[in-house]
Structure 1
Amino acid sequence: MVDIVIQARDAAIIEAIKVKRILPFRLHRMVGPFIFMDHAGPVLNTPPIVSSLDVLPHPHIGLSTVSYLFGGQVVHRDSTGVEQIIRPGEVNWMTAGSGISHSERFEDPAALAEGKLEMIQTWVALPEKDEESAPTFNNYTPDQLPIFTDKGVWMRLIAGNAYGLGNHVKTNSPLFYLHVVLEQGARFGLPIEHTERSFYIVKGSVELSGVTYPAGQMLVFTKGVDPVILARENSTLMMLGGEPLGERFIWWNFVSSRKERIEQAKEDWKQGRIVLPPTDNKEFTPLPDDRYGAPPKPEPLS
């Protein structure tokens, strides 16, 4: 019934921020157009210097980043001039296209207190025709996102289409992305209209066909498999998927259907051709090298 179970792995965005990395996974690189997924927090131990959590300006090409908070807040600044405080329940959709840089700053100590900060960030690959589109950023508030409730079920549609629901979050290919909260004993199913489907267990545990799956796992399904999800306890899920886009290459923060485009992006960042955010341009993240002193090769995702 389950195509594959992906166990989140420990990773670090920067030294002070440890995350659970779900995608990409070596045995299943993408789910629909989703190529990357990190679960950060809850941050239980706030460092004495809050700015040590900051993610300095860094570049992207060929993808959209989607930031979704359960708690806390983050200040986003990007090279298009946008400055946006990201708050829980909002959808913050940044399309890199031909190239963008942005930072994520933690400027309110109160938003970090008592383990409040917790977020999911996903990357959505762009269709080839949109890989060189102009960069954009859009913020969607919770009142713009439809909510469905039933006995023991609460669900917010973050983006795309599912269960007959849609919203005005701009996407570039067919997909769905949902925040689902289940009470103990509640039953729920995956949307049936998409080719590739999955859910990640943020909190709690669920049962499928007599097997219990704990928090920190992603379950992936193909079309035609329609599992019944039983919440073994109060649980939070992120459901996502859609239509596959074909092979993609990924290196650091760059995604493309062409290896040579990633090589160009490396040089563009080194030479300053991807500009810094105008209100956050005093520091930046340098292009990484691997432990042998040479940048890692672009890795295909399909």
Structure 2
Amino acid sequence: MAEDPVDLVVAPRPRDIGGFEVRRLLPVAQRRAVGPFVFFDQMGPTTIPPGHGMDVRPHPHIGLATVTYLFQGEILHQDTLGSVQVIRPGDVNWMTAGSGIAHSERTPPEARASGGPVFGIQSWVALPKAHEETDPAFFHHPVASLPVIEDDGKTVRIIAGTAFGARAPVATFSATLYCDVVLKAGAKIEVPLEHEERAIQPVAGRISVAGRSVEPGSMLVLRAGMPVTIEALEDARLMLLGGERLDGPRQMWWNFVSSSPERLEQAKADWKAGRFGQVPGETEFIPLPE
């Protein structure tokens, strides 16, 4: 009997972030990372009523890059570098925390007034050890700047890294696989073999992977080097993620990621003492968990 190419199926776990529920898929005890991805949340799909919104107050990060990608809705990003950016569906917000940055994520005023759907992915990419203390930076890549591959009932947008012979403009620190894939019912796609670690996360519609029917929401972590074909059992959308294996274990505490436990302690002390700087226009912040 052929070996199952699916190594692990991860069920989503609900979490509250600023009055807004997400479904967390990474990390889990059985799998701390897939390639450089150490954190993966699905936001929604949900509908926010008029006058309400998401309010994630200023909070800090070190040792990672945050990647925000939306299917529906809008989020206003602001950070201690002075960046102010509304992210819309198909855009990529890539924030390199490196040695330290703080940011807030809120529903923009216009979207808050009207209400509407919110649906997307928030992920963290751990930086290689040599770049954990790189200078913080923020990059916005509008949807029109990302490569798109279309044929045989499938549309693939390369969010970051490389896949299917294309490369996204996002500057990554290690080999990365991150794609938004839309499939018509009956369409098939091969998961790229070029990346060491890979996972599939269906976000809408049922798919078939290695003979199993998969509902939206879970994550399938694949075995290295094994060919995998995805078939859409109905119109479907999914994320492909992964890349090069991390260069050693990472420790995560709250919003901090590092290969050094001492560095985590320093980050805690820095946030408590207000040494991350101020997000312009913000007076609130999330206190250090005690």
Is TM-score (shorter-chain normalized) higher than 0.5? yes
Match of 1:9 in 2: 13
Aligned pair count reads 285
Q: Which amino acid aligns with 1:107?
A: P
Counterpart of 2:274 in structure 1 is 272
Residue 40 of structure 2 is matched in structure 1 by 37
| CA contact 1:50–1:109 (8 Å) conserved in 2 | no
Which of 6, 24, 27 aligns to 1:24? It is: 27
Helix, strand or coil for the counterpart of 2:266?
A: helix
Residue by residue over 1:37-59, the C-alpha shift from the partner in whole angstroms, topping out at 9 and shown as x without a partner, is 0011122242x6425x2110000
Q: Does the 8 Å CA contact 2:51/2:113 hold for their aligned counterparts?
A: no
Aligned CA distance change for structure 1 residues 114 and 83 (closer, same or farther; 3 Å): closer
1:248 matches 2:250: yes
Code of the residue aligned with 1:2 in structure 2: it is V
Residue 261 in structure 1 maps to residue 263 in structure 2: yes
Structure 1 residue 279: Cα displacement: 2.6
SS for the counterpart of 2:32 is coil
RMSD between aligned residues: 1.4
Distance across 2 between alignment mates of 1:55 and 1:167: 28
Structure 2 residue 149 is matched with structure 1 residue 148: yes
TM-score by length of structure 2 reads: 0.95
Question: 1:299 is matched with which residue?
Answer: none
Q: Which amino acid aligns with 1:268?
A: D
Distance 2:57 2:48 in 1: 21
* CA distance, structure 1, for counterparts of residue 252 and residue 182 of structure 2: 32
Secondary structure, counterpart of 1:50 in structure 2: coil
**1:81 aligned partner:** 82
Partner of residue 67, structure 1: 68
Query: CA offset at residue 115 of structure 1?
Result: 4.4
- Between the two proteins, what is the percent identity of the paired residues? 48
| SS of residue in 1 equivalent to 2:270 | helix
Does the CA-based 8 Å contact 1:50-1:107 persist in structure 2?
Answer: no
Task: Spell out, residue by residue over 1:102-139, the C-alpha distance to the aligned partner (whole angstroms, 9 max, x if none).
Answer: 00111235468574211101100001111111100000
Amino acid in structure 2 at the alignment position of 1:44: T
Separation in 2, partners of 1:241, 1:140: 20
Query: In structure 2, what is the equivalent of residue 96 of structure 1?
Result: 97
Which runs of 5 or more residues in structure 1 are unaligned? 290-302
Given residue 213 of structure 2, which amino acid in structure 1 is its aligned partner? T
Task: Give the conservation status (yes or no) of the 8 Å contact 1:79–1:275.
Answer: yes
Contact kept, 8 Å, 1:194 with 1:242, in 2: the verdict is yes
Q: Helix, strand or coil: the match of 1:3?
A: strand
What is the alpha-carbon distance in structure 1 between the residues aligned to residue 40 and residue 249 of structure 2?
18
Contact 1:61–1:265 (CA under 8 A) maintained in structure 2: yes
1:287–1:125 CA distance, 2 compared to 1 (3 A): same
Q: Does structure 2 retain, via aligned residues, the 8 Å contact 1:111–1:117?
A: no
Any stretches of 5+ residues in structure 2 without a counterpart? none
* Letter paired with 1:194: H
- The TM-score, its normalising length taken from structure 1, stands at 0.91
Task: Note the C-alpha offset of 1:224.
Answer: 1.6
- Name the structure 1 match of 2:233: 232
The residue aligned with 1:216 is 217
Structure 1 counterpart of 2:14, which letter? D
Q: Deviation string for 1:214-262 (max 9, x for gaps)?
A: 1111111132211111111111101010011120000000000001100
Secondary structure at the aligned position of 1:240 is classed as strand
Cα offset for 1:199?
Answer: 1.0
- Is this contact kept in 1: 2:51–2:114, CA < 8 A? no
> Residue 98 of structure 1 aligns to a residue in which SS?
coil
Distance 2:159 2:210 in 1: 28
Instruction: Tell me how far apart the structure 2 counterparts of residues 31 and 176 of structure 1 sit (CA, whole Å).
Output: 10
